[in-house]
Amino acid sequence: MQRSAGYHRAGGSPSKCKVRAIRSRLRGVSILPLQILIVDDEPKLVELIAEYMRTRGHNVDVVRDGAEALRRLEQQGYDALISNLNTPKVGGLELLGQRLDVPALLARAQVFVHCSKEEGLGQSVLEAMRAGVPVVATRAGGVPESVGERGILVDIQNPPALAEGITRVLAGEGPDPALAQTYADQHFSVSAMVSGTLRAYEGFVSGLA
């Protein structure tokens, strides 16, 4: 599963804070060795991070700009991507951090893209559906069950299909998001989930009588 680690700069030197953030993100990863790509234009910082990763048994590649990173990603698969979004030729993205206004952010979105390789229920997909945002997602875990015909589903690790799905939504050719919103409200709201759980327990208890 590809992980992307952003950089935290609050408190202490930037380099130490970045390394602490990366350690935190990768703590608990038990699959060894991971193939890791680091994208950064600060040589000393990159050497520090790469050395730490290698001492943990991982294989590390380093590139200095976004264009080279894209070339590497096309050539081989990586398990983890560590990137500094201020690196040259890495643009158009912003790490928002923890937010309490997710519904407001979703309301401004034209499309919600969820490209996991592994997934449980897909809570963030359901949040997007309930916000009325068109969904393009991979067939990972429980996502197909949640989305069904109410969004665009593509195979895992199929970038062309994902891009086609996004293009269809932006062109207004995707499923009606209002139908997805109604379905998610009826089946996955807090009240619906509580009612469903109670029915499951009641059915179990009645079966014991």
DSSP-derived secondary structure for 110-125: S-EEE--SS-SS-HHH
CATH number at residue 120: 3.40.50.2000
Q: What is the pLDDT of residue 31?
A: 53
Please check whether residues 52 and 140 belong to one and the same domain: no
Strand order in the sheet with 59-63: 3-5, 80-83, 35-39, 59-63
Residue 96 in contact with residue 72, Cβ under 8 Å?
no
Burial of 125 (0-12, 13-18, 19+ CB in 10 A): buried
pLDDT at position 112: 95
In a domain, 96, yes or no: no
Q: Which residue in 138, 143, 130, 139 sits closest to 181, CA to CA?
A: 130
Give the C-alpha distances (Å, rounded to integers) separating 85 from 50, 75, 105, 107.
Answer: 18, 21, 20, 25
Token pair of 196 as six digits:
């469903």
* The pLDDT value given to residue 32: 66
pLDDT value of position 175: 96
Q: How much is the pLDDT for 92?
A: 56
The total domain count for the chain is 2
Residues of the chain with pLDDT under 50: 1-12, 29
Whether 164 is covered by a domain: the verdict is yes
pLDDT computed for residue 190 by the predictor: 87
Q: If DSSP codes are grouped into helix, strand and coil, which group holds residue 8?
A: coil
Percent of the chain with pLDDT over 70: 78
Q: What's the predicted TM-score (pTM) here? A: 0.58
pLDDT attached to residue 49? 84
pLDDT of residue 85: 64
pLDDT value of residue 10: 39
- Residue numbers of the domain that contains 27: 3-83
Is there a single domain that holds both residue 75 and residue 152?
A: no
